[in-house]
Amino acid sequence: MLTLSTINGTPDAPAAIGPYSQAVVISNGLIYTSGSIPLDPATMKVVHPTDVELQTEQCLKNLSKVLVESGGSLASVIKVTIFIKDMEQFAKINAVYSTFFNDHKPARSCVEVARLPLDVLVEIEAVAAKL
C-alpha cells in the first residue's frame, strides 16, 4: 500500500499561498510538487513583475528548495510542466531553464494560460524521483 507525506514550510522557499502542500512524497519514491511561482521567500512578494527571465530563475530556485526538502533535486526531475502567460517568451524561458538543467533533460510540457496566481508571468511544477 502506498503512503503519502506532505511537504510544507520548506526553509528558503515561499510558503504556499493557498490550501495546498508545497509537495507530496509517495512511498514509491515519487515527488509531486505544486506549482512554483516567482515569490521572494523572505518577503512573499513577486520578484521582477515584468521580467520573465528573472521570474523563471526565481521559480526554479524555489522549486529546487522544495525538491531538496522532499528528498530529491533538480537532477532527479522526471517531468516538468511550465505555465506561461505569453508563448512569445518561450525562448527566454528556455535559456534560463537550460542553465538549471544543463545536460539533464526531463520530459516537459509548456502551456500558455490566460492568467496565473498573483499575475506572475510563469509557474513551474515538477515530478521527481526521491534520491
Query: Which residues participate in catalysis according to the annotation?
Result: 110
Please report which residue ranges of 41-131 form alpha helices under DSSP H. Answer: 52-69, 90-101
| CA within 13 Å, CB half, 75 | 2
Residues 58 and 38: beta-carbon distance below 8 Å: yes
Distance of CA 73 to the CA centre of its chain: 11
Residues 122 and 82: beta-carbon distance below 8 Å: yes
